[in-house]
Structure formats: structure tokens, C-alpha cells
Chains A and B, each alone.
Chain A
Amino acid sequence: MRDSSSLFALPVERPSRVTLYAEHVRLRYSVQADRKRRFLGRRRPVSYEALHDVSLVAREGEFIGIVGRNGSGKSSLLRVLAGLEPATAGIVLASSKPQLLGVSAALLPELSGLQNVRIGLLAMGLRPDEVETRMPRVIGLAGLGDSIAMPMRTYSSGMGARLRFAISVAAEPEILMIDEALSTGDAAFMERSRIAMEGLLARAGTVFLVSHAAQTIETMCTRAIWLDQGRVVTEGPARDVARAYRWYSHNLALGNDEKAEALLDEATTTLEERRASMRSDATLVARDVPAQLTSEIEREVRAVTARIPVVGRAPGRDAASRHPSTDQQAG
């Protein structure tokens, strides 16, 4: 919360902090492609770029959907953002270690669901006494009934996803990333998981959701990112992006490849354009700056702003010039 003791505090709501920041992230795999090979000769590895220069930022309380075709880099992006896979280039910063919930096999297939819950909670670093107090809630959220005592290898994919979701949410992660895992759940579980995620967002968390169903993104998320061939096509309010994507994939499904291509081009926004729109909706942020520093800072900010190659209508200056004016009110 705001530091109320500050003399220069403005009566402004604290804007939601950035929880995750990724800049110019690239991910390059080198894989053995299926090609003709010489006898005993090593196949030449083929380089494949799964992510190409992805920059994005996420804040508290944001529910970010990621849409895109198969193989567009959605899952790779989540793995890099979660720190499971080091990016080939670029930086990923986060306020705390993200919890990624992916589509995967059973955790410990031979052990019962109950034991998987206990071991999972311990793996996330909870103390044994915390584990015991949280166990009932996890079991309740998973809602598996008597199956919780069965070995996890007997679970259907939907049951496995429910259990893993319940474990992941129990540690109250600040950043939760869900990769298609909810798509196997039934309606009752979707409702329960929605409530759990809203609780997480209310506690200043951030949720990422990858889904092929643009409808899900549209109804659940606040913002959406459209990926294609490892690049960010565009980002913006979930409704707009999800609808643009649905129209594009609808045309693709009908075989109107040219029209789809045109739609993709039309939707594409560059990083400079996205930066410009971010600057234009910049709210007040400089709140606790002592008045005697404002002129100093203003000069510094101007100096730094001047170094930025500005595209288009130069909104950077607008954003920068706001700080001094608000601070003068404070002084």
C-alpha cells in the first residue's frame, strides 16, 4: 500500500505494479530434423526460432489471454516467462517465481492423489504444518471425491488437470500461468477454477491463460496477446483481440488464405505503436517525489526522453511532461 507517512503523498490510488516484464525475448531450438543422413554421419541440427523478439509487460490484477494458431509459440512463451526454459536472448523479470500449469502427465503416477497433493505442496516450499492446514482446501477445490485416494495413473486427463490446478492455486502464487489445462475440465470445475482465479487476481496477482478457444479468452480475460510464428501480432483489450483473431481463424478455416493474410497484416501492430499507446494511457505514477527534486527530475526525464527514437506523433513527451505538473500540485 501507499506510504502514508510521506509528506508529499498525493491522494491518488496506487496504480497496479508491474509483475512481469519481458523484453526482446528470443528462443531458438536446434533440433535434429528428419532428413536424409550419411552413414554414421551426425545429422546437421536445424535451428528453429520458436520466439522472435517478444516484448510484453503484465501488471497486478491483469488476466491476460494468449491466442494464436498451433505452433505459434504460445506454450514456449509461457515456459520462458515461467523461467523453465532460459531464453536464448532477452530478459524476463518477475516479481516472484511464476507457477506454470501445463498439460502434462501425472506427477507421480504410482502415488495416490492425496500423496501427490502433499508432495506437490512440499515441493513448492510449504512447511509440513502449512501443508496439513491447506490439504482440505486443495482436496475441496479439486473435487475428485473418493478418487483422491486412487493412484494418479488411473486418473483421466481432466481429473489430473483438476488436481494439478488445485495444487498450483494452493500455494497462492503471485503469477499463475495456465496452458490449456482447463480445457479438459467440465463446466462445474470451470466455475470453481474461475472463482479461484478471481481470488488470486483480487490479491494483486496476475494470471496468464493460453487457449485455442477465443471465446474463453473473451469472457475471462482483461487483456489479450495474439501470437503468430513466434511474434506478437497485437495486444489490447481481450474483446478486441479475441474477435480479430476469431475472424482471422474463421477465414483460415474456410480456406480464404488471402483474406486471412490480409486480416493478419491489418491487425499487426509494431512494438513502437504498442509503446505509443502505452504512453498515451500512462496514468500518474510520480507520487512521492519531493518538490525540490521535481525540476531536477524533469530535466533528467527530458534528457532521457530525447534519446528515444520517437515514431509518429511523439507521445513520449506528453507522458514525460505529466510528472512535473502533478508534482507541482503536491508541492
Chain B
Amino acid sequence: MGDEQPTSGDVERVSASNARVRLGSPDRPQHWREPPTRRENAVERTLHDSPFAFDVEVAYGDLDHLSPVSLRPPLRDYLRDLWQRRHFVWHESRGRFATQNSADRLGGFWLVARPFLDALFYWIMFGLVLRMSQSVDNFVAFVLIGTMTFQFTSRVIGQSTSVMRGSKAVIRAFSFPRASIPLALVVREMLSSLPGMAVCLVMIAVIPPHALPTPTWLLVPAVFAAQTLLNLGIALCLARLGSDLPDIANATGFVMRVVTYASGVIFPIDKFIGDPVALAIVELNPIYAMLKTYRVVLIDGALPEPLLVATLLGWGVVLTVVGLIAFWRGEETYARQQ
């Protein structure tokens, strides 16, 4: 009875389940069925033992064309679906990027004005008032690069814990790979950090002591791409965590402060640490590696050390892969009521 496999041509050994399948199957060859996967097999076994299913099949025809509604697709199919939704991700992030300042009188002007005012503040604070340039040669450029490039990452960290709850209306209305949501968040923040990057490059060249463009400035788009990859990994991990454990959102402010100082956004932390173990831990921090890469390329005009690049890219790839798998495993949970 439990024999699910097709036995070609052997009419004598047709199982009850196969006979039922044949009863109302007009557009399939009589003797062949796709071998079931493990998950489908469990469903088939349930159907096979179910008197209700039997009555339904007798009355209305077979149930062979049906498949479970809440089945998480295999990872490969999931990635294919995600790629198929790239236009959705692009339109969603571009639309929200374009309207994020729609309530303000000056609208899109703020995209440039905000980073410009930030940069002006840091220049006056650290360049004119405090004059902290004992440890670093061009401290103004150091601080500007740190704060302006870190904004992209900090905004992604700040939003990704609550992004799934915030998008519940879209998640409930349509069925699409849910990883599109954190992906769209990263694309949107990437778009809104582009003006800040441009302002940063102009300001460090204009403010004395000038960090003038060198050939290594051409590497900035590559570093930016590596930062985007790192942010994507962070967004995927935090989106899953924040959806399972909403408490995380309360801790982001604290975590952000720790990350800000541990990554040397404003102060050159590696100059203050004597302990080699602590220094090694700081140097393993991907955000520290990212900021240092930017500074080496922009201020020193040199190529970054391979170890630095490896730290940045390694974390980016590992977090993205781990985050994607973790996110995919929670695929059925994001639309839940609670």
C-alpha cells in the first residue's frame, strides 16, 4: 500500500494511491508520476490516509495538481525569485528615496544640505575650536571621512531591526521573496548616501590642510561597493533578528555608540590602544577596516594593505551569506499577525 514509486508496466502491483491518482488525471501519462520530494511525501502520506481526501477525490477529481501554500522554496529557487523581483526592489527603493524629503519645503535640497552642514560642524569643531591634530596629520579630513561614510552603515543598522514590521502592509498584500525588503532598504540608503559622499570628497579637498585628489581616489567606488555588501549582510542579519526579537530595536542606540567609538569614526582608536590583543580585536572589526580603507585611499593616496581589504570583503561576504540563509529560514514568519 505504501509503495509510492511508479512500477512501469506492472499493472499487478499498482498501489491504491497510484490508482487514485489515475482516476482523474486527464493530461498526464498513465504510468508515470514525478518522484516526490521528502516534504511532498509527508503531505502525500497524510492525504493517502485521509478519508476526507478520499471523498474529495472521488467527488471532484484528484488533488495531484495542488501544492502546499506555505512552503518555503529551496534556497536556489528563492534566489532566482529574488533576482526576478529586482525591478520591484529598484522601484520600491527609488520611489521611497525620491519622496523621503517630500514633506520639507526645500525637498531634495536637503540631500546635499544636510551632509554639508554636518561637515561644516565637524570642521569648526575639530579643525578650528579643538585643534586636535597631534596624533593625525590631517585630522579634519580624518573626521570628515569617518562621519560621512559611516552614516550609510549607521542608517542601515538603525532601520533594519524594524524594517520587517514597518513593511507589514506590503508583505501581507503580496507574495514575494521577503529578502527584497532589507535589500530595498540597502539600495535606498545607498542612493541617499551618494550626495553625502560627494560632499565629503569636495570638503576634504577644499578645507585646509587640503587632501587633494590622487589616482587612488578612483578606488572609492570599489570601497563603496564593498561597504554596500557589508551593509547588506548586516541588514539581512538584523532584519531577521529584529523580526524574531523586537527587543533588539531598544539596544541599537547603545550598540551604535559602541560601534562608533570601536571603529574609530571620530577618534583614531588604534593610536590609543597599547594592548596588542585589544588592537587585534579592533582591527578585526569590519567597520574599522572600511573606514581605514577609505582614509588610506583618500588622505594618504596609497593602496590599502591586502589584510585590510580581506577583512572588509571577508566580513561582507560571510555576513551576506549567513544573513541570507538565516533570513530565508524565517521566510514563513514575516507575515504573521503577532
Contact = CB atoms under 8 A, between A and B. Distances in A.
Interface stretch (A9-17, A193-201, A231-239, A246-254): A9-17
A18 B169 contact: no
Contacts of B53: 21, 23
B248 interface: no
B76 interface: no
Interface residues of B, number: 61
Given A23-B53, A304-B16, A107 B22 contact: no
B51 interface: yes
A305 B23 CA distance: 15
Contact of B92 (A98, A108, A296, A308): A108
A128 B61 contact: no
Contacts, number: 205
Contacts of B27: 3
5 contacts: A18-B61, A29-B337, A59-B60, A124-B174, A290-B30
Contact of B59 (A24, A55, A279, A305): A279
Max chain A Cβ within 10 angstroms of own Cβ: one of B170, B176, B332, B338: B170
Interface in A58-104: 59, 76, 79, 81-87, 91-95, 97-102, 104
A94 B46 contact: no
A314 interface: no
A120 B58 contact: no
Nearest to A288: B26
Given A18-B63, A93-B67, A93-B69, A303 B335 contact: no
A108 B65 CA distance: 35
Interface stretch (B81-89, B147-155, B216-224, B288-296): B81-89
B332 to A, nearest CB: 5
Nearest to A29: B338
A118 B60 contact: no
Given A119-B88, A297-B19, A91 B26 contact: no
Given A118-B91, A122-B88, A107 B170 contact: yes
Given A15-B61, A84-B336, A300-B16, 12 more contacts: A14-B26, A18-B56, A18-B63, A21-B53, A23-B46, A57-B56, A79-B335, A81-B69, A107-B169, A124-B174, A275-B55, A319-B59
Interface of B: 11, 14-16, 19-20, 22-27, 30, 43, 46-47, 50-61, 63, 65-70, 81, 84-85, 87-88, 91-92, 95-96, 99-100, 102, 168-170, 172-176, 180, 332, 335-338
Given A14-B26, A125-B84, A287-B26, A100 B66 contact: no
A113 to B, nearest CB: 12
A168 B176 CA distance: 14
A293 B11 CA distance: 8
Contacts of A209: none
Given A17-B60, A102-B172, A297 B91 contact: no
Given A85-B336, A122-B85, A122-B91, A100 B20 contact: no
Contacts of B88: 119, 122-123
Max chain A Cβ within 10 angstroms of own Cβ: one of B14, B70, B100: B70
A119 B169 contact: no
A62 B52 CA distance: 19
A309 interface: yes
B170 A115 contact: no
B137 to A, nearest CB: 44
A330 to B, nearest CB: 13
A85 to B, nearest CB: 6
A205 interface: no
Given A98-B69, A275-B51, A320-B58, A123 B170 contact: yes
Given A92-B68, A282-B58, A289 B23 contact: yes
Contact of A323 (B15, B23, B68): B23
B65 A17 contact: yes
A110 interface: yes
Max chain A Cβ within 10 angstroms of own Cβ: one of B55, B102, B338: B55
